[in-house]
Structure formats: structure tokens, C-alpha cells
Amino acid sequence: MNTANIYFEINELEYTDSGYRISVSYSFWKPLMNYILAMSDSIEIRCWNDEKEVINELKERFLTELVYKVERNETVFSGALTPKIAEYLTSNFLGKENQLKWFFLFFHRKGRFLFSSEHNGTEFVGYVFNTEQIETIKKRMPNNINFHTW
């Protein structure tokens, strides 16, 4: 079966008062994440160190489930993907300025990189998806995205 890597980005963007580049709408988020989460077995959540509110929220909710460390300018939470984490990612994903809470999310399957959400859910990368999976992802996204395969 033929596979490809994918990159896509949201075209309808706006900026918050704090300077976040965000999607005009995140209505695609839950359907996309439900699909990606079903294929994933571990996660890495990366935030900038100055994003104290979301870092504290992650510590409070998942410190016993996820490994926590600071790497230079980023705070990283990583570990097995649990139903509790999946629920959090699909139901509590927007911050105070309607931005996606996490700057980077990396999803893995069997120790290999599968998919990422980057720049507060405005850019996405995935590896080794078949044609059917790519079409399923496209159906979950707004029509006006830049979508590339390689």
C-alpha cells in the first residue's frame, strides 16, 4: 500500500492581543484529534516556559501520568496516551484568547513519530499515512487549507 507524509496549514488566521497566531475557528479540532488519538499510543506536549497557566494546569492534571521536564525554553510533558489525556485534548483545548492551549503536540505510535500539531494548531505534519487515511484527515479539516504530500 502506498503511503505519504503530509503537511497542512490553516489559511484563515487571526492574531490575539497577546500575539498568538490562531485559527479563526477550531471546529475541526475535535474530529481531527479523535482520529489521530485513535492511532496514537503516546504523546509529547510542549509549551514555552512562560506559558505558566497551561504548564500549571498540565502539572495539576497529569503530573503522575506524564513525565515533566524543562528543556531550554520549553516545558515538556510526555508519556503514554491515556483516556484521561485524550479527553482533555478534545474537550479542554482552548485558552483565554481562543487559542489552542499547546504550542506543540507530538503523537507517537509504537515508538515512532506519527503526527504533530504545531504553532497553536495552525500547522500539522504527519508521517506514513495511506491514501484512505489522508482523505479521512482532509474531510475533517476546513476546505481552505494548504495541503501537501511527499
Record the cell numbers describing residue 47, joined without a space: 509549551
Share of the chain above pLDDT 70, in %: 100
* pLDDT recorded at residue 143: 87
Contact 130, 2 (CB under 8 A): yes
Mean pLDDT of 102-115: 97
* pLDDT recorded at residue 140: 96
Query: Quick one: which of 5, 4, 7, 34 has its CA closest to 122?
Result: 7
pLDDT surpassing 90 at residue 105: yes
* pLDDT recorded at residue 144: 84
* pLDDT recorded at residue 66: 97
Question: How does the average pLDDT of the chain come out, rounded?
Answer: 96
At 7-62, the pLDDT tens digits run 999 999 999 999 989 999 999 999 999 999 999 999 999 999 999 999 999 999 99
Share of the chain above pLDDT 90, in %: 95
Determine the 3-state secondary structure of 38 from DSSP: helix
pLDDT surpassing 80 at residue 102: yes
